[in-house]
Amino acid sequence: MKSEALCPLVFIFRPELIDSAKAVHAFDTGAHGIRMYSHVVAEEMDANDFRLEPASAANQLISAVFGSQRAYFDGDTRAVSAANPQVQPYQFHARAYLDLILSPGRNEPDDRVFTIEVVIGGPVPLSGSLQAIVLPHTLWPTGPKAPWLETLHNGSVSIIPYQFVPGRSSEHYHTLLEQAVRLFYEQKGQF
């Protein structure tokens, strides 16, 4: 990345926002739609077959499959077993989901095919909904700051800078973002 304008930002929303979700799915429905999961999810299985209702079912899925929020966040599949004793052979969708999680050779940018998808049906105002933003340190310097960031910060949004070094790869920044978000959740006691 040559410029801060090209760097990724992470917006961390308040957990209560999921209560207003239009839909919650066990994985990326767009990837399912273009058949990226066809190696384990049968063509006849519709994305809505993997819809989680109510929204609180997302935490139940994480707990049942990964064992903890931390394991889910880290993408740690060591505790996941395709031979899960809770899943019966006739529970085809549950079996397909476990097979998807454990499948090798996935073609996802961050290799997290099991990332839960939350669809919000309307605009989400940053004020009151945003909990934190992770951004390059040069956008939150010790001197003058961007007015829109000042407004967010004054409205109780945590500003979490990561070290920007021109010329680093996007993979480098992905790692920094993941570390910053993990630390934020740890400090909030969410792991």
So what's the pLDDT on residue 46?
95
Reply yes or no on whether the pLDDT at 71 is more than 60: yes
Q: Distance (Å, rounded) from C-alpha 162 to C-alpha 8? A: 10
3-class DSSP assignment, residue 160: strand
Nearest to 163 by CA among 189, 134, 125: 134
What pLDDT, in 10s, does the model give residues 133-180? 999 999 998 888 889 999 999 999 999 999 999 888 888 888 899 999
Q: 108 or 54: whose pLDDT is higher? A: 54
Q: Is the peptide bond before 147 cis (omega within 30 degrees of 0)?
A: no
Q: Distance (Å, rounded) from C-alpha 24 to C-alpha 116? A: 7
Reply yes or no on whether the pLDDT at 108 is more than 70: no
